[in-house]
């Protein structure tokens, strides 16, 4: 096998509207969301199914009901049986990694055109019974049912919520929200600053929804001829937050309750809060539900191909992939990963941070975004905050108002960037970047196609 020097380009992409947890899209499986998204892409472009050499899909909540969900989608969406299919699990950068994987396959000459993206149905994440089948109560489904009333009396059997389990780092034993509070404490980011950031993002998202920006690449979700969801759900569920910022201050703190005080937080996780100690009366909790991203359902997909193949198929080229990078850090500080991944991606593209004209940054939490601003400046001299103030970061809102269907988000930030570049001809260089559980950060640099 021989690698080939080719320009790798991104053509059209689409996504579903993002549904809030247990709301409008709750009855759709992740494979259904993905198949509908692929069909939506085919209906909006001149791409014919047989031209697809493979499908690369990110999926965080992987389950046995759809093993290798990429292959399930190939068959359910009417793509050719010959198409290769790979499912990626890299937590919240899965949808970005899938696109990078497609690019690698093209560079190695394994194929010329791939569909890549991510899918997630957090509403259908299961509850799981954890334990060895060596235990007599777990020998078979029949024995589980027969012993159901006595099951949890066995200390070796655990019933768990796969959402909470999946959003807790298994090495450092912190939830993702806890990692945000760690960053907020470590980098002295106040609750007020986080609320201000979230307020701005809510407003920009609603403005973009109403202006029609998302209509360029969001395919309404239909079932039996009826439209179930046309636009992202969460911005409208929290619409008051964009008009009444004082409501943000009323949200309860996640780590300062009657049962669990901030002092308890420091006792449990203080080893990760470098350079800080709890001070009675001074140390304040900061992270709330409203300055955090929402749990969501949705799928997103984009065409990844070579320049020549795109021309042969008469596909509109939106941008060229200039570089990408992934970087791992301490899982307890996972939210600042994009600062490091961005630096490496810029180095590989031989660009400076100042040359980047728009950034799409995954907003896992307002705390993590503001921490990235500080780490990027202190570590690399990258002035993220300046770009934020100039409206060059998430001009159409981010994950806090739009929602975060895990594996789909890495593709969503790239779609935001692609269609912003299409809309604004003055943007030459764009950056899409995201953090992920486990301490990963991912970054991709796109150049306007010319």
- Separation of alpha carbons 182 and 174, rounded Å: 10
- Would you say 367 and 335 are in contact if contact means Cβ atoms under 8 Å apart? yes
Query: Does the CA dihedral 404-408-160-149 come out positive or negative?
Result: positive
Which two tokens mark 400? 């806090």
**Is there a catalytic annotation at residue 100?**
no
**Is there a catalytic annotation at residue 162?**
no
Q: In Å, how far from its chain's centre is CA 245?
A: 25
Pairing of the two strands 319-328 and 84-88: unpaired
Q: Active site residue: 217, 272, 362, 404, which one?
A: 404
**Is there a catalytic annotation at residue 333?**
no
CA neighbor of 342 nearest in space, from 310, 366, 377, 311: 377
- Separation of alpha carbons 63 and 55, rounded Å: 18
Q: Active site residue: 11, 183, 369, 435, which one?
A: 435
Q: Active site residue: 92, 100, 183, 293, which one?
A: 92
- Separation of alpha carbons 450 and 436, rounded Å: 32
Enzyme catalytic residues: 92, 404, 435
């Amino acid at each position: 096998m021989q690698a080939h020097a080719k320009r790798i380009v991104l053509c059209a992409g689409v996504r579903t509207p993002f549904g809030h947890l247990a709301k409008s899209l709750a009855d759709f499986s992740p494979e259904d969301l993905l198949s509908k998204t692929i069909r939506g892409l085919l209906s909006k472009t001149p791409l014919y199914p047989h031209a697809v050499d493979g499908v690369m899909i990110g999926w965080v909540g992987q389950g046995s009901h759809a093993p290798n969900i990429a292959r399930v989608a190939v068959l359910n969406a009417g793509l050719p049986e010959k198409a290769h299919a790979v499912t990626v699990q890299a937590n919240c950068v899965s949808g970005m990694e899938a696109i990078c994987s497609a690019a690698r396959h093209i560079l190695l000459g394994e194929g010329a055109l791939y569909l890549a993206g991510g899918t997630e149905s957090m509403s259908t994440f299961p509850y799981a019974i954890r334990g060895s089948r060596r235990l007599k109560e777990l020998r078979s489904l029949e024995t589980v049912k027969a012993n159901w009333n006595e099951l949890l009396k066995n200390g070796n059997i655990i019933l768990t919520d796969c959402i909470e389990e999946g959003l807790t780092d298994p090495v450092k034993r912190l939830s993702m929200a806890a990692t945000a509070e760690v960053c907020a404490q470590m980098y002295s980011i106040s609750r007020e600053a986080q609320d201000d950031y979230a307020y701005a993002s809510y407003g920009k998202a609603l403005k973009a929804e109403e202006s029609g920006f998302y209509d360029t690449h969001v395919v309404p979700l239909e079932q039996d001829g009826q439209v179930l969801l046309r636009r992202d759900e969460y911005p409208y569920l929290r619409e008051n937050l964009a008009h009444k910022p004082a409501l943000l201050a009323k949200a309860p703190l996640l780590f300062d309750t009657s049962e669990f005080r901030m002092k308890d937080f420091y006792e449990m996780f203080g080893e990760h809060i470098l350079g800080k100690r709890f001070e009675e009366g001074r140390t304040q909790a900061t992270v709330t539900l409203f300055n955090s991203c929402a749990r969501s359902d949705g799928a997103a997909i984009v065409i990844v191909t070579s320049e020549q193949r795109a021309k042969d198929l008469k596909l509109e080229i939106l941008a060229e992939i200039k570089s990408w990078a992934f970087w791992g850090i301490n899982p307890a500080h996972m939210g600042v990963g994009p600062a490091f991944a961005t630096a490496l991606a810029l180095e590989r593209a031989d660009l400076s941070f100042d040359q980047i004209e728009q950034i799409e940054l995954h907003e896992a939490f307002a705390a993590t975004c503001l921490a990235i601003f500080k780490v990027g400046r202190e570590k690399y001299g990258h002035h993220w905050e300046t770009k934020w103030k100039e409206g060059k970061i998430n001009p159409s809102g981010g994950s806090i108002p739009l929602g975060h269907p895990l594996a789909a988000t890495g593709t969503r930030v790239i779609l935001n960037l692609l269609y912003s570049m299409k809309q604004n001809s003055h943007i030459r260089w764009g950056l899409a970047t995201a953090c992920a559980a486990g301490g990963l950060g991912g970054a991709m640099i796109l150049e306007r196609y010319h």
